[in-house]
Every structure is written in C-alpha cells, then in structure tokens.
Amino acid sequence: MDMKKFIKILIPSLLVIFCLLQLTNPSRTNPSGKADFLDVLHPPPDVATALTQACYDCHSYQTRWPWYSHVAPVSWLIASDVFDGRSHLNFSDWPTNDLKHMVRHMEEMSDQISSHTMPPSQYTLIHAQARLTDAQRKTLTDWLDSQSDALVKSSP
C-alpha cells in the first residue's frame, strides 16, 4: 500500500474514532454539599479568594467545567482529577462535627500548600488564576495553622 492511500484511510479512520470517543464522556456533576468550608470557618477575603481560585475546582462541588472538559479523551483526565481531589478533600462537605478530621485536613492543606504540592503544576499550567504567589501561600498557611491551633485549643 502506498503512502497516499494509507493517509487517505488513516485520517478519516482517526476522525471516526475521535467522534466515537465523544460518546464515552464521564459525568461532570456538582451536587449539593452539606457544609461548605468558607461558610463554616469564614476566612478573610484574601484567604477565601485564594482557596476558591486555586482549590475549589478540584476540591468542591463548585467545579467550573471548561469547554475542553467535554472533549474526550481530555474529559476523562479532568473528571478523574476532580473526583480524586474530592475524595481526598471536599470543601463542600466540610466535617463540621468531627474536630480531629477538620484539624487533620487543615494541617494537610497547610503542608501541601507550603511544599508547593498543591495546586499541582499540571493544573496551574492551564489555569493562571490558580497560581499562588509566595505571599499567598504564606497567608494561606498562616491562617490554616492558626485556625487548626485554635480548634485544638478549643477542644475538650
């Protein structure tokens, strides 16, 4: 088979496969939450803004699903990242009745923000508003540390 004939078959075949992949898109849901982190703890505006811009897309039910989250195979990766993020920490289902759980989450958040583990670089590469400056990281970690310390001191 010569190259021209191969390409004439390959390109339409790839296009058909791409179109069929669109039928396999995962669900992109934003269910109602029980208790939102921001509503429960009332952080200062700069902390709330940084958390919303850098964390809430993957760690809450307030995910903004961009147009490319509807195009397979990218949709599979994005949905997987969101569902994985929500399973580790979900700001929309903040554990208001479990002090130890709240403190542990806040300490982990502080550690991951200060170590630059969160938000992940693959996310900030495309979402410039999620890039945290060193000053924002310090503000977030200082606030999280002070809040977790206050919760520990207030426990019986």
For residue 9, the model assigns a pLDDT of 80
82 and 27 in contact (C-beta within 8 Å)? no
pLDDT recorded at residue 43:
97
Query: What pLDDT was estimated at residue 1?
Result: 65
SS3 call for 70: helix
Among candidate residues 111, 112, 116, 139, the one with its CA nearest the CA of residue 46: 139
pLDDT at 24: 72
Flag residues of the chain having pLDDT under 50. none
For residues 57 and 127, is the Cβ–Cβ distance under 8 A? yes
Question: Domain boundaries in the chain?
Answer: 3-154
Query: What's the pTM value of the predicted model, to 2 decimals?
Result: 0.83
How many Cβ atoms sit within 10 Å of the Cβ of residue 125? 10
Tell me how far apart the alpha carbons of residues 16 and 121 are, in angstroms, rounded to a whole number. 33
- Check residue 49 and give its pLDDT: 97
